[in-house]
Chains A and B, each alone.
Chain A
Amino acid sequence: MQSSKPIIEVKNLEKKYDSADVLKDIDGVVNQGQVICVIGPSGAGKSTFLRCLNLLEKPTSGTVLFEGMDLGSLKINELTTLRERMGMVFQSFNLFPNMTVIENLKLAPVRVKHMSDEEATKKAKELLDRVGLSEKADVYPSSLSGGQQQRVAIARALAMDPEVMLFDEPTSALDPEMVGEVLAVMKELADEGMTMVVVTHEMGFAREVADEVWFMADGYILEKNEPNELFNNPQNDRAKDFIGKIINA
């Protein structure tokens, strides 16, 4: 299912907050159907990197190409069309608390894609079924567990039929017993051929599911490799140190 058709290309990406460099000289290509896991210590700039991909953060310099289109040149209304093609899942779920679960799923298809209510409802039900939460359609998010909320958030992003899914530490805020259910949904998604960029601390998931693992530290991508290579035989010293600590933990 994997092809070598690049969906996202990043060139010389830099991000500065005031005077602090958060991202430095980032290059990378995400091909269609690929699952990229981004790992690294806290403060490495992983989340910022991810957020630069759909322009929730504006890069200070460098280019991000989405299917060959330069994101830096987009106007605000073009930006929203771009974003509907890239789903994002957040660490803190960010479900809309003022809407029921199914309303959360229907909002964007109806408002952005101008889908009919009926059609959107049908689609939302299918997606809830897929993440195993059909019976929760009419409850408010606050009555769900963290794991359930994150599964709803994934379904909500999928409702827009995105070409790429970005995951920003999707399991970090979860109680340990709920991590599995969310990872299972993500794995299923990967198996179906979804292009995914996942910032994560779940090394097991990265090893099993990723096509490529990118190791980030201090704002740089220091090493990119297949998961087995990177975990078993890291080349970069920082990567060695990081992976050594994780394995010994």
Chain B
Amino acid sequence: MTIKGKHVLQAVLALCLSLLFFVSFSNVTTNDQTAYAADNSLQKVKEKGTLVVATSPDYPPYEFQTTKNGNSKIVGMDMSVAKKVAKGLGVKLVVKSMSFDSLLVAIETGKADVAIGGINPTAKRRQSVDFTHIYYSGGQSFLVNKAEKLKYSSRAKLKNQKVGAQTGTLQYDLAKQRIPGVTVKGMDKNTDLVLALKTHKVAAVGMETPTAKAYVENDSSLAMIPSGYKLNKNDVGAAIAAPKGSTALINAMNKSVDQIKKQNLTDGYLKTAGTYMKTNTNNTSMFHYWKYFAKGVEYTMIISAISVVFGVLLGTLLALMRFSHNKLVHAIAVAYIEFVRGTPLMVQVMFVYFGIGIIVNLPALLSGIIAVSLNSGAYVAEIIRGGIDSVAKGQTEASQSLGLNRTDTMRYVVMPQALKNIWPALGNEFISLIKESSIVSIIGVTDLIYQLNIVRADTYRGVMPVFIAMILYFIMTFILTRILNHYEGKMNHAK
């Protein structure tokens, strides 16, 4: 095969991979269409006996985590609503936590039956999912620094200023459209936005009134001003999202939602949420939250350790495939490596959890480990290839001249020397895995980053948890570096 032919084959294989990617995701729409044809959404939930609710518990008072009798628990107004709805359906409530961005994808891909999380049923979102009636509408406010309350006393005074809002939310769009000359600074988390406000990177942060109120109550340097937005009733407020076409389920849930609305049950729910928040903020010392961090460290280590093992196994296999004389085997390895290295880990994590998840329902932790392993395998393959290349050609020739076959030559002569050469690079890969595995928090794996966000949301302390997480990551990588150095020293001694 000519050089050019080889590249064509690799390109074709890479394309096949992307097609697979596409097909898995496009299955989502196919599933929806079948759901349209026969709406068995309600029946399905009733048969299972559980209502799986996806939520992102970093948004008090809507949903957040609290510690009760030593156990971490998701609470908040939305959880009370979900409980009521599940009860109305006559099924058990199961809560699945993940990042806010992943909520709608989770229900589209069947990872959860419904999503709740202060979600505004905007027209854009209605294109991909269906919503119940609105169960709560708290109105819109701006959070400002108390010292600047007079300077920015109304929306009109925010003209030509920088205003923060969560990316992909109603607040973001509203600020952009209705404040003249504004620069909207979008971030993922309210905790980050508030930090930006306190450090004067933005003049105000747009958020739901109850959330803003919670911040003001917990931080004396903050104040809130009314937004003065005049809004379409359908757009404001929070509703429960369900997959498109699950009308039966929506109708059944609406019975409970209407009841909540009619009896103003959310007032009580908010009060309960408030007590939980008080216990959270009663003691915002980081020691009080050590269990969250400990669990985060545990998961981060589990993910990294398992992934590094499988990454090395897969990487070795791929590297050997690259050295194969069989052109197809070689091209498959090259295509895999190039494809994986050419796409972000975050996308791969979501692909495994949501994409592959359509075919096999993988739990978040397992999906995270698989994605990180598959990713690491590609990088390790390149490290090992470099290691094999670094072994002098004379070594292979000497081994062959003694009559050893290719496998034995690899196993006894080349690989042991290659491994020694690449040990530092493999160690670096392990260390970067510890850090990069943090991306799995987006699918709700409770690693250190995930826990960090929970603690920040619970305690209303923006910087301290970040600092703690930083120290913990450093301790992990530092200890690992020492261990790796120890073994490297041992190997050098052997020579």
Contact = CB atoms under 8 A, between A and B. Distances in A.
B403 A108 contact: yes
Given A96-B413, A140-B495, A56 B402 contact: no
Nearest to B393: A94
A83 B495 contact: no
A80 to B, nearest CB: 5
A118 B403 CA distance: 20
A107 interface: yes
A83 B403 contact: yes
Contacts of A94: 392, 394-395, 397-398
B416 A98 contact: yes
Contacts of A97: 417, 495
Nearest to B412: A107
Contact of A56 (B395, B401, B408): B401
Interface in B390-433: 392, 394-395, 397-406, 408, 412-413, 416-417, 420
A56 B397 contact: yes
Contacts of A108: 402-404
A82 to B, nearest CB: 8
Contacts of A87: 401-402
Interface in A156-214: 156-157, 160
B37 interface: no
Nearest to A166: B401
A153 B401 CA distance: 12
A160 B403 contact: yes
Given A97-B417, A97-B495, A88 B404 contact: no
Given A98-B417, A98-B420, A111-B412, A90 B394 contact: yes
Say whether chain B's binding surface is mostly helix, strand, loop, or mixed: helix
A200 B351 CA distance: 62
B147 interface: no
A106 B418 CA distance: 21
Interface string A20-59: 0000000000000000000000000000000000101000
B404 A112 contact: yes
B494 interface: yes
Nearest to B419: A98
Interface residues of A, number: 30
Interface string A77-94: 100110111111010101
B402 A83 contact: yes
A142 interface: yes
Contacts of B392: 94
A140 B495 CA distance: 6
A247 B118 CA distance: 97
B397 A83 contact: no
A23 B402 CA distance: 25
A87 to B, nearest CB: 7
B397 A90 contact: yes
A157 B417 CA distance: 21
A83 B394 contact: no
B402 A112 contact: yes
B419 to A, nearest CB: 9
Contact of B398 (A90, A111, A140, A160): A90
Interface string A103-125: 00001100110000000000000
A142 B495 contact: yes
Contacts of B408: 111-112
Contacts of A80: 400, 403-405
Interface in B348-367: none
Contacts of B400: 56, 80, 83
A96 B395 contact: yes
B405 A77 contact: yes
B402 A156 contact: yes
B401 A111 contact: no
A111 B397 CA distance: 16
Contact of A111 (B395, B404, B416): B404
A126 B59 CA distance: 78
Q: Which of A80, A84, A86, A98 has the largest number of chain B CB atoms within 10 A?
A: A98
Those 9 A-B pairs whose CB atoms lie nearest each other, nearest first: A84-B403, A94-B398, A108-B402, A88-B401, A94-B394, A98-B416, A112-B403, A83-B403, A80-B403
Interface of A: 54, 56, 76-77, 80-81, 83-88, 90, 92, 94-99, 107-108, 111-112, 140, 142, 153, 156-157, 160
23 contacts: A87-B401, A88-B401, A90-B394, A94-B394, A94-B395, A94-B398, A95-B398, A96-B395, A96-B417, A98-B416, A98-B417, A98-B494, A98-B495, A99-B412, A107-B412, A108-B402, A108-B404, A111-B404, A111-B408, A112-B402, A112-B403, A157-B402, A160-B402
